């Protein structure tokens, strides 16, 4: 572990969701929360994410995901922030629980396009869930910002197929030609539903595009385990999401959804 990383004091400031933001989230399937984090907090999180990338390896990729993070450091505080959980609970319409935290790094000079998909096309939920996707670097068209199709969440879970890139990722069975480019500054967060169709463009810049995602589910949501619906709060899909003392290169691949 790099010695420049040490235990820190890190607390997300209260961020009340306004009625207008909640309405936009409900009707459009997403909302951008500006200035959620301070620049100092962004720097701490980005430094830690890139330290983790250095440990597990960062090959040219359209999306490098890992749920590993160190106990006691900035990511630990962020992942378990009461403020982030409150934001999720407000947007989902009830008390919510952390489902999965993960890095979202698109490498510079080679991080390709991520096809349009819904998170629910991976693990199936039967109720509200939200992805709080926070920018730790500028999000521009040039470096592959998120692309979202407004109101797509109103269509329910769509049919999907493998992306064709050989990486196990999925995509919708049609090619969207009308979508919103979500431009963000470091510290901004875009919240979107599990049914919102989204993707990202290629990173054509030399710098890595760095973000961090916190997925939550409302406490009454069930997930489909094979042919059996299970209450997520009682039967979590992932158990190893609570931090660790050592980061290790992953064995195999996790879909991150």
List the chain pLDDT tens, one digit each, 257 residues.
444 455 567 999 999 999 999 999 999 999 999 999 999 999 999 999 999 999 999 999 999 999 999 999 999 999 999 999 999 999 999 999 999 999 999 999 878 999 999 999 999 999 999 999 999 999 999 999 999 999 999 999 999 888 887 777 888 888 888 999 999 999 999 999 999 999 999 999 999 999 999 999 999 999 999 999 999 999 999 988 999 999 988 766 655 68
pLDDT at 168: 74
Are 152 and 121 in contact by the 8 Å Cβ rule? The answer is: no
pLDDT, position 111 = 86
Please report, for residues 106, 108, 151, 205, the alpha-carbon distance to residue 59 in angstroms, rounded to integers and kept in the order given: 10, 10, 34, 16
CA distance 255 to 257: 6
Report CA Rg, the chain.
Answer: 17
Per-residue exposure over 168-199, b if at least 16 CB sit within 10 Å of its own CB, e if not: ebbbbeeeeeebeebebebbbbbbbbbbbbbb
- The pLDDT value recorded for residue 8 is 66
Q: Which of 103, 93, 105 minimizes the C-alpha distance to 144?
A: 105
Q: Which two tokens stand for residue 203?
A: 């990173």
The token duo for 115 is: 């096809």
**Among candidate residues 213, 254, 217, 247, the one with its CA nearest the CA of residue 69:** 247
Cβ distance 169 to 256 under 8 Å? no
pLDDT at 169: 82
Instruction: Round to whole Å and give the CA distance between 197 and 154.
Output: 10
pLDDT of residue 252: 62
Q: What is residue 240's predicted lDDT score, i.e. its pLDDT?
A: 85
Residue 246 has what pLDDT? Answer: 93
Residue 76 DSSP SS3: helix
CA distances 143 to 186, 208, 222, 247, Å, are 13, 8, 36, 27
pLDDT recorded at residue 49: 98
Q: pTM for the full model?
A: 0.94
């Amino acid at each position: 572990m790099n010695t420049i990383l040490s235990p820190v004091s890190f607390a997300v400031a209260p961020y009340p969701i306004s009625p207008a933001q909640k309405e936009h989230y409900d009707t459009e399937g997403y909302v951008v929360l500006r200035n959620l984090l301070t620049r100092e907090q962004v720097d701490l999180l980005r430094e830690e994410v890139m330290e983790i990338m250095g440990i597990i390896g960062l090959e040219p990729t359209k999306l490098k995901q890992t749920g590993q993070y160190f106990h006691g450091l900035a990511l630990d505080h962020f992942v378990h922030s009461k403020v982030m959980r409150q934001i999720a609970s407000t947007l989902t319409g009830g008390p919510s629980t952390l489902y999965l935290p993960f890095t979202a790094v698109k490498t510079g000079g080679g991080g390709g396009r991520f096809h349009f998909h819904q998170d629910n096309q991976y693990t199936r939920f039967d109720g509200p869930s939200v992805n709080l996707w926070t920018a730790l670097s500028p999000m521009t068209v040039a470096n592959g910002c998120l692309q979202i199709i407004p109101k797509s969440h109103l269509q329910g879970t769509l049919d999907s197929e493998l992306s064709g890139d050989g990486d196990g990722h999925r995509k919708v069975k049609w090619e969207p030609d009308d979508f919103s480019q979500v431009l963000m500054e470091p510290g901004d967060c875009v919240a979107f539903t599990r049914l919102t169709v989204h993707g990202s463009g290629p990173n054509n810049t030399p710098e890595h595009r760095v973000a961090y995602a916190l997925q939550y589910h409302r406490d009454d949501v069930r997930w489909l385990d094979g042919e059996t619906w299970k209450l997520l709060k009682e039967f979590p899909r992932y158990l190893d999401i609570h931090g660790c003392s050592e980061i290790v290169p992953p064995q195999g691949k996790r879909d991150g959804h």
